[in-house]
Structure 1
Amino acid sequence: MLPDQCSVLEEGKQCVNPPEFIVSIISDKDEYMVGVTCQKHKQIVSGKVGILQSEGKIHDGKISFSPVKSVGTDCIHGDADDFIQIDMNSSKN
């Protein structure tokens, strides 16, 4: 699960935009997620990650912005027939 808002605070207030990118650091053979951001704050996040890396507060490595992709599934789906079937099966036990 991802946060439903960008990770950036503006003047002490949480950005209300939905995340558009997963921000991660690719270091050696590992990748570390450090947050999510919207398009508006992509450059700000990139700069902040660079500062944190230079201060040794997060891993050195390449900053990666991966687009957030929506994923849908049919495995969690219910309709009226499903509920009737469940009720009928549970009453037989």
Structure 2
Amino acid sequence: MLLPETCSIKVDGVGCNLPPAHVVSIQSRDGSGEYMVAVVCDDHKDGLEKRLQEMQKAGRVPEGRIHFQPVKLVVTDCVAGMEEDYVDIELKRGANSDRKLA
């Protein structure tokens, strides 16, 4: 899943520039679904939880359990592709690849 690069919280109209640490969702009470509502950094996690609880009481967001799922970053520097990808690496970039010859 592609996430925003920064936290969803704005303080005094200024967006937080920290990267998200949690995906925030609300799990419906009847078990019919889970709805993603934001991504948030560690600094704003508690404040967002309190605000969502207030919004639930006011009926502005669905009732249910507020769920914070930690963001797990996955990065790779490998090349896995088709023949054209290896040709690009070998010819255009001048690098040798570990391509298996048929």
TM range (shorter): 0.7 to 0.9
Change (3 A) 1:83 1:6: same
TM-score (norm 2): 0.72
Which of the pair is proportionally richer in helix? Answer: 1
Change (3 A) 1:77 1:49: farther
Q: How far is 1:81 from its partner?
A: 3.6
Q: Which runs of 5+ in 2 are unaligned?
A: 93-102
Q: How far is 1:46 from its partner?
A: 0.2
Q: State, as a whole percentage, how many aligned pairs show the same letter.
A: 38
Q: Structure 1 segments of 4 or more deviating over 2 A? A: 71-78
Q: Within 5 Å, which residues of 2 pair with 1:56-75?
A: 56-72=59-75, 74=78
Q: Which runs of 5+ in 1 are unaligned?
A: 88-93
Residue aligned with 1:83, SS: helix
1:19-72 Cα distance to aligned partner (Å, 9 max, x none): 000000011221110001000000110011111111111110011100001134
Change (3 A) 1:63 1:84: closer
Change (3 A) 1:23 1:83: same
- Aligned-partner Cα distance in 2 for 1:12–1:76: 43
Residue aligned with 1:70, SS: coil
TM-score (norm 1): 0.78
Residue 9 of structure 2 corresponds to 8
Give the count of matched residue pairs: 86
